[in-house]
Amino acid sequence: QLTQLISAAFIPKLLAGKKILMTAGPTYEAIDAVRGITNRSSGKMGYAICQAALEMGAEVVLVSGPTALATPHDAQRIDVQSAAQMYNAVKQHVAACDIFIAVAAVADYRVAQVSEQKIKKSAAPLTLELLPNPDILASVAALANPPYCVGFAAESENLATYAEQKRLAKRLPLLVGNIAQQAIGSDDNELILFDDAGMHPLPRADKLTLARQLMQYIAQHYEGDFS
Amino acid sequence: QLTQLISAAFIPKLLAGKKILMTAGPTYEAIDAVRGITNRSSGKMGYAICQAALEMGAEVVLVSGPTALATPHDAQRIDVQSAAQMYNAVKQHVAACDIFIAVAAVADYRVAQVSEQKIKKSAAPLTLELLPNPDILASVAALANPPYCVGFAAESENLATYAEQKRLAKRLPLLVGNIAQQAIGSDDNELILFDDAGMHPLPRADKLTLARQLMQYIAQHYEGDFS
């Protein structure tokens, strides 16, 4: 931790004065008073990116789903549960930001009929109707004057194809791909950056190391998109 | 923490030589490679009970769903995800135990068709078919020579009725009721013990205090059921 603090002190403040809005962690979609749908995201990759952005001098608003992680020092953290709550928090803060990084594993679906009371167990099968959630990242990227938008794609197969499709469909300057099974919950990861120039792999390393490399890449590339 | 250690040293070893098997935390039922159904249980009540049992001299096997909690010192912890995995771990250890305490918020339902790959998002609604899970506690209580079985009921309404119904249906000597909305994820709780003698409320307190009162009650009552 001390060595981390000391090495952070020598990192060039490439993002001084920049405002970053980001999301991290899973979301939780209630089924009833106690049950819900979530995913295996631990929030570690997002929190590492938050940490790396702060080290480079950025101001960071971190909209976080439920995680057990400590808030990086100096981040402004907003806790949410559902995708709808995350979307509202993002809408409130997006106008002020220069860069938007969507790391959260947002639930693609919510439960159509949320029960306020705990559903009693019965021996019969149960059917859950799910409705698609709004796409937070696509909505931000489609704004008239959008921030520089960075997306994440966690895929269990066909990463390169799905990631580039996602980047083009959402019109993102930069999309970060990773393999869900390797990435989620783990301390290490392996990233592939997709942008107009092609694919840039960041080899397997701990998440803070990767986060610093990613933020370095963002700092070097995002100005170009505004010029 | 130090005061906790010192006060623990003065707790009478009422459960010395006793073997306790217990479950704690939520379970996680996979929908696909990354998504799943879980519940708001933090595992705090179960881990506090494990701690209290250890303080009283018991040997504890703790079968735990996914939580962010540290293992109580001297507990043998077995990590599981799904209700089926929890059931298997319990079956492996139940023969050796004197007391079984089922604190885990076990998923009542699992997904009928688990997808190995991440289900791609589409604009259409999705339907999830759920099947009821085996009832771990009822199965243990129905053994020919069962341990002393303690159940938990977290209800969002009608606690007294539902809890006593559950106790009689599963033939448990002792059932611990709590209000889901007050209990789950919180540091405090309020318990009501249901047994053949009636209802015994344990007023609101932190979970370790309640856990010690509960284990005291169990230590004083369970021998009777064997004699």
Contact list in B for residue A127 (CB cut-off 8 A) is 127-130
Instruction: Report strand pairing: A109-111 vs A59-64.
Output: unpaired
Distances (CA, A) of B97 to A143, B72, B148: 61, 19, 9
Per-residue pLDDT for B226 more than 70? no
Q: What are phi and psi of A78, to 5 degrees?
A: -120, 115
Residue B6: its pLDDT value, please?
Answer: 72
Residue with more model confidence, B179 or B43: B43
Is B61:B22 a contact under the CB 8 Å cutoff?
A: yes
Q: Which among B39, B133, B178, B189 is annotated as catalytic?
A: B39
Alpha carbon of B143: minimum distance to chain A alpha carbons (Å): 21
d(CA B73, CA B64): 15
- The highest-level CATH class for domain B2-115+128-221 is alpha beta
Using only C-alpha atoms, chain B has a radius of gyration, in whole angstroms, of 18
Interface probe, candidates B128, B129, B178, B186, chain A, greatest A C-beta count within 10 A: B128
Asked if B184 lies within 8 A of A34 by C-beta distance, the reply is: yes
Helix (H, G, I), strand (E, B) or coil at B179: strand
Question: Residue A212: left if φ>0, alpha if ψ -120 to 50, beta else—which one?
Answer: alpha
The pLDDT of A157-186, averaged and rounded, is: 88
Tell me what the pLDDT averaged over chain B comes to: 91
The pLDDT of residue B85 is: 98
C-alpha B204/C-alpha B197 separation (Å) is 22
- Average confidence (pLDDT) over B93-108: 96
Total CB pairs under 8 A between chain A and B: 104
Please check whether residue A19 is in contact with residue A62, taking contact to mean a CB–CB distance below 8 angstroms: no
Is residue A39 flagged as an active site residue? yes
The domain locations on chain A are: 11-114+127-226
**In CATH, which of 3.40.50.970, 3.40.50.10300, 2.40.70.10, 3.40.50.300 is domain A11-114+127-226?**
3.40.50.10300
Q: What is the pLDDT of residue B155?
A: 85
Residues 6+ apart with CB under 8 A from B124: A132
Would you list which residues of chain B are within 8 Å, Cβ to Cβ, of chain A?
A: 31-41, 68, 105, 107-109, 112, 116-118, 120-132, 154-157, 162, 180-181, 184
> Model confidence over A28-61: pLDDT tens digits?
999 998 899 999 899 999 999 999 999 999 999 9
Q: Which residues of B touch A83 (CB under 8 A)?
A: none
Active-site entry in A39, A133, A178, A189: A39
DSSP helix/strand/coil, A167: helix
8 Å CB contact between B27 and B64? no
Least confident interval from A175-184, B46-55, B172-181: A175-184
